[in-house]
């Protein structure tokens, strides 16, 4: 999706460059003006994108961990679980598992939380009461590790 937006922006700027260069007396052909506008735009975007992506990675390295949450009440939904875990850190996503045939919740799910907050959330919520049930909270197994081993 980002690639198509970048291409549209590049094409628009190249057309603008072609129109501006065509009106100048330096370049007589529209084709040359378009090509020069596209090249200039490509260079400008590549310089801008490498500078901005370097700034983003240095300023906010947001890493996350996935936490398994078991023995959830069947009536609990994603918003309820997100609210519960938000008290212990920044929650990025909540996914509660459902039965494929019936669509009913299966009583467990996964929470993606900021890596720095994961240990605190696990310690605070493991074996705690929620909806008249005792939660089981731990770091989720990485499925890629189990495939290799």
As its CATH architecture, domain 64-139 has 2-Layer Sandwich (3.30)
Tokens 């069947």 belong to which residue?
Answer: 74
Cut 0.75: pTM above it: no
- What pLDDT was estimated at residue 70? 95
DSSP 130: E
pLDDT, averaged across the chain:
79
The pLDDT confidence band at residue 141, using thresholds 50, 70 and 90, is: confident
- Interatomic CA distance for residues 71 and 9, integer angstroms: 49
The pLDDT confidence band at residue 113, using thresholds 50, 70 and 90, is: very high
The 10s digit of each residue's pLDDT in 36-90 is: 767 776 676 677 765 544 444 333 346 899 999 999 999 999 999 999 999 999 9
Spell out the domain ranges in the chain.
1-47, 64-139
The two most distant CA atoms of the chain are separated, in Å, by 80
More confident residue, 39 or 103: 103
């Amino acid at each position: 999706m980002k690639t198509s937006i970048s291409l549209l922006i590049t094409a628009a700027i190249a057309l603008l460059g072609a129109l501006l260069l065509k009106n100048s007396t330096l370049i007589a052909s529209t084709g040359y003006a378009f090509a020069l506008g596209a090249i200039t735009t490509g260079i400008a975007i590549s310089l801008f994108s490498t500078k901005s992506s370097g700034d983003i990675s240095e300023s906010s390295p947001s890493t996350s961990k996935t936490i398994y949450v078991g023995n959830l009440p069947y009536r609990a939904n994603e918003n309820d679980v997100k609210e519960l875990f938000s008290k212990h850190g920044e929650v990025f996503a909540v996914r509660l598992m459902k039965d494929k045939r019936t669509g009913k919740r299966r009583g467990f799910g996964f929470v993606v939380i900021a890596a720095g907050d994961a240990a605190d959330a696990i310690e605070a919520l493991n074996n705690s009461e929620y909806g008249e049930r005792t939660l089981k909270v731990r770091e989720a197994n990485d499925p890629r590790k189990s495939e290799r081993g």
